Structure 1
Amino acid sequence: MAAALARLWGRLGWRGLALLTTGVSWISYGASLTIQPRYGTVRGISVLLDLMCMAAWGWLWITAGAISLAYALVRPGRDLLGVAAAMGPPLLWSLAYALGAMAGTSPTAWGAIAPWASHALLIAIVAYLTRPRLIVPRVVGDGAQ
């Protein structure tokens, strides 16, 4: 059992764990938006509701979560679509709340901007810190003087 967990962790790592937990979170959040959206969320992102209904936005979150999950076990450097799927929805929500606050559709929308943006930033930090290192051989001399 310990060997299997070690192999799984060797394949997953911190980057994969971030994509895995984000994927599960986005699927859960998207399902809640699709089934029973909260009133504050509807008011806060009202600028997006002219583009699609709330159920469609919920499916966007679910799809992004599924993509994040699918890329959790992919090697770093080949998982950029998963990283983008993990970062996209919270950045979009942060922008929607910012626009909602500026438009005055929700007096408390400003309070949701930083929390959503911070999740995307944390994913970017994990992706940066766990990126594959390029090993370039150092050329000492090419023989020409």
Structure 2
Amino acid sequence: MRYAAAARRVNAHLGRRGRFLAFMGVGKVCWGVGLIVEPPAPEGLELLTRFGPLHCWAWVWIIAGTVTFGSAWVRFGQDRFGFLAASVPPALWAWVYGWAALLGHYPRGVFIFLWYITSHCGVIWCASRVPPGGGRRPLVGRAVEGSPD
């Protein structure tokens, strides 16, 4: 029972935005570690690898994920840094793949660009617009079914 109560307290403290940031933070750290353990093929990422090897760029994901996860635990408004940190790596990867596609070096890059912009950045940006209550209207001033009013 103690674990369930602790889980409820953590869940209530995080709220919708915090749960999203915690989830995204863990995912970004895992993605970064995966880039170190098993680097992807460098096609389309030449612009990044011109400035450093992929294992160095993996740390961008890891650091961003750590900031994103840490931001899950702060108040509404202060969590904006988590959404910003969550957006940086996928936006960077999207831009690099898109650039490679525009130059004709990696035609598939246009699809990877669209995937990062929609399924990563778009989702993060939409989640950043969710109000702290998750969009639920407060019950103040409204009669609630079953209330003694």
The CA deviation at 1:4 is 2.3
Match of 2:142 in 1: none
Determine which of 30, 33, 36 is the counterpart of 1:34: 36
Code of the aligned partner of 2:55: A
Residue 44 in structure 1 maps to residue 62 in structure 2: no
- Distance (whole Å) between structure 2 residues aligned to residue 36 and residue 73 of structure 1: 31
CA deviation vs aligned residue, 1:54-91 (integer Å, no higher than 9, x gap): 11100111111111111111111011211111111111
Residue 80 in structure 1 maps to residue 80 in structure 2: yes
Return structure 1 stretches of 4+ with deviation > 6 angstroms: none
Match of 2:68 in 1: 68
Write the mapping of 1:104-143 to structure 2, written as runs, cut at 5 A: 104-118=104-118, 119-130=120-131
Larger deviation, residues 54-63 vs 2-11: 2-11
SS in 1 for 2:51: coil
CA deviation vs aligned residue, 1:5-37 (integer Å, no higher than 9, x gap): 222111111111111111111111111112221
- Distance (whole Å) between structure 1 residues aligned to residue 86 and residue 131 of structure 2: 15
- Distance (whole Å) between structure 2 residues aligned to residue 3 and residue 54 of structure 1: 42
Percent of aligned positions that are identical: 31
TM, length-normalised to structure 2: 0.80
- Distance (whole Å) between structure 2 residues aligned to residue 55 and residue 38 of structure 1: 10
Uncovered stretches (5+) of structure 1, i.e. residues with no partner: 133-145
Match of 2:89 in 1: 89
Uncovered stretches (5+) of structure 2, i.e. residues with no partner: 134-149
- Distance (whole Å) between structure 2 residues aligned to residue 58 and residue 126 of structure 1: 24
Code of the aligned partner of 1:81: F
- Distance (whole Å) between structure 1 residues aligned to residue 47 and residue 128 of structure 2: 30
TM, length-normalised to structure 1: 0.82
The CA deviation at 1:131 is 5.3
How many correspondences in the alignment? Answer: 131
Q: What is the root-mean-square deviation of aligned Cα atoms in Å?
A: 1.8
